[in-house]
Amino acid sequence: MTRLSLVLLVVLAWPMLAADVNPFFQEWKTPFGVPPFDEIKDQHFLPAIQKGIEEQRREIKAIAGDPRAPTFANTIEALDNAGDLLEKVQSVFSNLTGAETNDRLQEISKQVAPLMAALHDDTFLDPRLFARVKAVWDQRGTLKLEADQSKLLEETHKTFVRGGANLDAEQKKRLRAINQELSVLGVRFGQNLLKETNAYRLVIDKKEDLSGLPPAVVAAAADAAKAAGQAGKWVFTLQAPSIWPFLSYSGNRELRRQILTAYTKRCDNGNEFDNKQVLYRIATLRAERSKLLGYPTYAHFALEERMAKEPAKVYGLLNQLWEPALKVAHKEAKDLQAMIKEQGLEFKLEPWDWRYYAEKVKAARYDLDENQVRQYFQIDNALQGAFYVAKRLYGLTFIERKDIPKYHAEVRTFEVKDSDGSHLGVFLIDYHPRPGKRGGAWSSRYRGQRIKDGKDIRPITVNVCNFTRPSAGQPALLSPEEVETLFHEFGHGLHSLLQRIRYSGLSGVPRDFVELPSQIMENWAMEPEVLKVYAKHFQTGAAIPAELVAKIEKASKFNQGFATVEYLAASILDMDWHTITSEPGKDATGFENASLEKIRMMPEIFVRYRSPYFQHIFASAGYAAGYYSYIWSEVLDSDAFQAFKEKGLFDPETAMAFRKQILEKGGTADAMEMYKSFRGREPSVEPLLEKRGLK
């Protein structure tokens, strides 16, 4: 295509670009090739995505029509190298739609989803292309391939087969229709949830209704009210830094009930954002597609690519943990009910009471007040604590750079250097909630690591979270849970930054293995040796007292019955949705209720994610039949951390083994084999049971 025809295409696709140069069509001259966010406008995305799709189609067509005999280089390797422009655009677009979206980007998402689904199907359902892939696959016994090349060949062939390459014409037609519909439904689910979450505000105009709330929480609510045009009042939202402190400290039981009810009724209110029919249709279509591809259920399809391999093994682990967790949670409920009675009250414990009375029991039992602990967890210090651990383990240095572009003023940017001073990658952090950011915490990439034309392309990694904001002249002071989340996402970031592979097609690891690098980092966050380094009082700078560290350690297993039950219930609900063989017999609410009744879910605890806002499994397929992955990986991380506990928190030999056998290898080897290479054996569940106090 000539430059003139390209310009005409862009102008026709988006008239507003007539005098504009699309930055995606240029080489980025920014430091380390970070996207020039200040130059990228909303209107640049659709033309660039369309152009990227066009280029990738042309590349795929050339591979499929290559007159030469199929080889690893001209087929498998060529496929791995296809789509550079589309990847360049999509990495920015997908990251911004999660962290800094707006109505225009959401509208583009709806247009792009079916285009991407069509490209996927046109690639993996192309008989000429699959014939070439299969020809190379059939020769695998005679090819002299290196280990990662053999793995790439295996994964490429498997992806085609799982994408429907072996289906007949009629089946392929139906598969395309299913994939098109699913692509739109997933976008709709996520957008509904964001809008419903942002729509709710608990507005308080009486000071007495703030009873029990810590000054920092009150100050943050005042700031939120001012930002919402209601100065002089206090606003609480469904964002994590707002709702969870409110539920933990508000003495107003009715307001606790209101805000938790709003949270658990998101996308379940019969309005335009209701997700019940959307998720029901998603689950039904996934079941149909899986059967079309030869699998009994979607869970069988998904788990084939994971460590668990089959639903029975997932249910086996969840059931092994469920009964001990339920037993501990019932005991915890009795303790909370006793606290209610001790205060001269007669009501029965409800879900909106749990966090409030858990704080009171913890304070009485361990003389531990989370607000006292927060004074030592200034966000910048916690980040430096994570950097300290990375330095001690792997020799990494994080240097803040002001010249690296950022997509929002709150983002901070760092160059990461290896122990020998060489450039390792770029690390971005984005830590506070905004209306354009979805809830939760995640790690992602603006550019993945790979080797191209002999050059090691280093990654651009981002951590996105929703932590407590600074307020009333105070810095952001984190809860212990938020500190662990910071270390968790940092672990994902290290996994990305340390990766050293040749092929982008081998950058991913099984969903139930990917949480190992993140969750193992949580272990260092509360280790006394590490706390003494970063946990310093935000006013005096004094290191956290040894007696307070001892209290934190003593209380580490407190309320683990609650935490484990709410999580396991969500994991079981996910598996139940994805082990259906056809359209469920009940509506979404009825199905969910039946799932929870089957496991005897406690009425005092809400499942962590109800179906209408279970974004992990319905907004995309990322964690579908995979929410169990956190506990599966916790078995791995608890066992792996024992190696450090046995030999030393920062033992160089153990750290180097973890880096070489786990963090650098991406998906170049079988996950269990990688783990055994590090640990010398398969993992044991015992350290997890001990860690959660379930023994």
**Cα 5 to Cα 8, 24, 40, 51, distances in angstroms:** 5, 17, 22, 12
Q: What is the pLDDT of residue 32?
A: 98
Q: Where are the alpha helices (DSSP H) in 167-275?
A: 169-199, 215-227, 240-249, 253-264
Reduced to 3 states (helix: H, G, I; strand: E, B; else coil), residue 587 is coil
Between CA 594 and CA 580 the distance in angstroms is 13
Tokens of 303: 């788990």
Q: Pairing mode, if any, of strands 460-464 and 423-430?
A: parallel
Listing DSSP states for 455-484 in one string gives EEEPPEEEEE--PPPPBTTBPPB--HHHHH
Averaged pLDDT in 10-residue chunks for the chain of 695 residues? 35 44 97 98 98 98 98 98 98 98 97 97 98 98 96 98 98 98 97 97 97 95 95 97 97 98 98 98 98 98 96 96 96 98 97 98 94 96 98 98 98 98 98 95 97 95 96 90 98 98 96 96 96 96 96 94 98 98 91 98 98 96 95 95 96 98 97 96 90 83
Catalytic residue flag (residue 597) = no
Tokens of 370: 């989370």
The model's pTM = 0.94
Exactly one of 489, 515, 566, 592 is catalytic; name it. Answer: 489
Q: What is the pLDDT of residue 347?
A: 97
Q: What is the pLDDT of residue 12?
A: 36
Find residue 365's DSSP bridge partners. Answer: none
Please report which helix (H) or strand (E) contains residue 88, including its range.
Answer: helix 84-99
Q: Residue 226: phi, psi to the nearest 5?
A: -60, -45
Reduced to 3 states (helix: H, G, I; strand: E, B; else coil), residue 663 is helix
β-sheet with 442-447: strand ranges across: 397-400, 412-417, 423-430, 460-464, 442-447
| Residues 132/77, Cβ–Cβ less than 8 Å | no
Tokens of 523: 């272990």
Instruction: Give me the domains of the chain, ranges plus CATH numbers.
Output: 3-166 (1.10.1370.40), 200-264 (no CATH), 276-368+561-627 (1.10.1370.10), 379-554+630-691 (1.10.1370.40)
| Residues 225/231, Cβ–Cβ less than 8 Å | yes
Count of beta carbons in the 10 Å neighbourhood of residue 172: 18
| Residues 217/245, Cβ–Cβ less than 8 Å | yes
Tokens of 267: 């996308």
**Cα 520 to Cα 201, 430, 554, 633, 658, distances in angstroms:** 36, 22, 20, 9, 11
| Residues 389/376, Cβ–Cβ less than 8 Å | no
DSSP letter at 608 equals S
Q: What is the pLDDT of residue 473?
A: 82
Please report which helix (H) or strand (E) contains residue 398, including its range.
Answer: strand 397-400
